[in-house]
Amino acid sequence: MTIRIYKRTSPGRRNASVNLHTEVTKKTPEKSLLRPIKKTGGRNHHGKITVRGRGGGHKRRYRKIDFKRRDRAGIPGTVVGIEYDPNRSSHIALIKYEDGVMRYIPAPVGLRDGDTIISSGERVEPSVGNRMMLKNIPTGLPVHCIEVTPGKGGQFCRAAGAAARLTNREERWATLVFPSGEIRQLPVECWATIGQVGNTDHQHRRLGKAGKSRHLGRRPKVRGVAMSHHCHPLGGGEGRSKGNRPPASATGLQAKGGGTRNRKKPSSKRIIRRRKSVRYGQLKT
């Protein structure tokens, strides 16, 4: 267990827990793979706040992650170390290929320093960290960093502890069961990485105090019902009242009950079972 709970010496410690990141073996990042991040504070190019509750936070540098690994096909790579990434919930693994190229990939469970991984097609062993096409992966294995469109790079199952299960293949379509309970088909030419994303205990960490949220760049948010009537559609009135209208944002956009997925895009096609059909709290297989 990588989550530590300290003695209740203060109100912040009473509700907080700390992730020890026991999987991390390398403390300093690779400088050639770092990029600066410019903070916006939730403002657009006009200086207007478009996303509320953003601001402050610790300074970060972006780690370039190789979600495609197409140009590394057939070239063995050695794991140099597992690193902490402040920009994502999962840990990342630094890979050094035989031709000297260094790349970052999301670190799956079971990947250790010195292990060899490879990205290729049909003659690769389906072991943890190897990237293969869905048509070459044996059914029943967990996969992550899955492509939606062949050649676009991994988009599904990239968060800590995420993994989908490849159930079967029919002609040019592969069926996968995702952690949300959604079942969908993807082209067999899409690539995926074998294994489950590491840092599985990330979901068990509790911030415990407002200061940790501020370190992450999250500012406090005021509830709409607590505002004045001229500041929010749900504001005003005697006491907390929604005014017999559905929840909405400050601009009047409905916040619950409406779909946000673009049905015209290919990602909405070939869905066998939607995630909303799974009841809240039901065990997902």
Q: Return all residues near 130 (Cβ < 8 A) that are at least 6 apart.
A: 117, 118, 119, 120, 124, 193, 194
The tens digit of pLDDT for each residue in 39-64 reads 999 999 999 998 889 999 999 999 99
Q: In 3D, which of 76, 90, 93 has the Cα closest to residue 29?
A: 93
φ, ψ of residue 96 in degrees (nearest 5): -115, 115
CB 154 within 8 A of CB 145: yes
User: What confidence tier does 256 reach under pLDDT thresholds 50, 70, 90?
Assistant: confident
Q: Return all residues near 136 (Cβ < 8 A) that are at least 6 apart.
A: 121, 122, 124, 126
Q: pTM for the whole thing?
A: 0.87
Residue ranges covered by each domain of the chain: 3-202+260-277
In the prediction, which pLDDT does 277 show?
53
The tens digit of pLDDT for each residue in 167-217 reads 999 989 999 999 999 999 999 999 999 999 999 999 999 999 999 999 999
> What CATH code would you report for 3-202+260-277?
2.40.50.140
- Residue 267, judged by CB atoms within 10 A of its CB (0-12, 13-18, 19+), counts as middle
CB 259 within 8 A of CB 269: no
